[in-house]
Amino acid sequence: MHINFFDKYMDFSARVLYYFLMKNEPVLFFNTSVKKIIESFSYCFNLRITFFSLQMKEWLVGYHQESSDYCNLIQKKLKIRYRCLREDSMMCHKCKVLNQSLHYQCHGGLTEVIIPIEIDNTLVAFAMIGQFRLKENPPENIVKSYIEQGFSAEELVNAYKDRPLFTQEKLNKMINIFSTTISLMVNSGEMKIKKATLVEQVLNYVDEHIKEVITINEVSENLKISPSSITHTLTRELGMPFKQLVITRKIMLFENIVNDNPSITIKKASSLIGFEDPLYFSRLYKKKIGITPSEFVNTARQTKLSQNEIIPKLHTFAEKSKTNKF
């Protein structure tokens, strides 16, 4: 089955252990047994499981469940991928403020669970379990928007109903099982702080030189590792060659820049990732992702929520919710 760039991009970390090296945050080591447990849990419950760093970098995704057809439909056809990125970030921040697990219904109508992960009493990551439903049908406003764009409501509803349906009791028990499993893995040392791998070193070099034309030879010289070893490792771990990795990472960083500052121009944002010709970047982005940068930026601007409104509300909610536990 052919997998296009958008699918690979959407599930960049679903094919890999993507432990991103950052100077100011810890990096988790996931033992082989952890990967097997996460894969098995994802398979048995038919859920997507993602581990995020504190800076919202994807470290590990359950291999079984890629992004659901329903999520792909609304992100690509309704062009609301930005909302997904922003909502994930907001809810992880809320989880951090509350210092407890939480679940919520996303704007698309699916339910997500966020569980904080602590090592030595320090928050180091978030585990997100999602893309399942608590309700029979998708939100009416999503279906309406889908129809208004000229698409089939039946296609959307069928994709939504393909996701597993949970009762509240089953949800609570699933959260308890997963939280307990995470605690056992942390206490046994199966999950711990680790040093950077070769993949992380390559990603770190790419990010540090993101505005430049990056070649595998200069990375090889900098890391003192042969180009063939780098190529073999990237292909094995990430499922993509070096050149494609650079393009994918640049696009990811472009979206992060827009996510942080929706008022930024495409010319400015693309220049920050090394594209001085915004028209060339726009063609590349459209070819790879399926929508134009303008569509992504416009959606970001339309759905922007002021930090001055969001953060105080989260802290107020936290004060009212400190005694609410699962």
Q: Which CATH class is domain 5-193?
A: alpha beta
**How would you write the pLDDT of the chain (326 residues) with one tens digit per residue?**
344 555 555 444 333 333 343 344 556 777 778 888 888 898 889 998 988 888 777 777 664 456 788 998 998 898 887 788 888 888 988 998 888 899 999 989 999 999 999 988 888 889 999 999 999 999 999 999 999 999 999 999 999 999 999 999 999 999 999 999 999 988 888 887 766 678 888 988 898 899 999 999 999 999 989 999 999 999 888 888 999 999 988 998 898 899 888 889 999 999 999 999 999 999 999 988 888 999 999 888 876 654 445 445 555 655 555 555 44
Task: State the angle between helix axes of 293-302 and 242-260 in degrees (0 to 180), rounded to the nearest 10.
Answer: 30
pLDDT for position 75 = 87
- What is the pLDDT at residue 293? 93
Q: What is the pLDDT of residue 8?
A: 54
Cα(210)–Cα(275) distance, integer angstroms: 10
Tokens of 235: 């292909």
- Domain positions in the chain are 5-193, 198-302
pLDDT the model gives residue 279? 95
Give residue 325's pLDDT.
47
CATH of domain 198-302: 1.10.10.60
pLDDT, position 156: 95
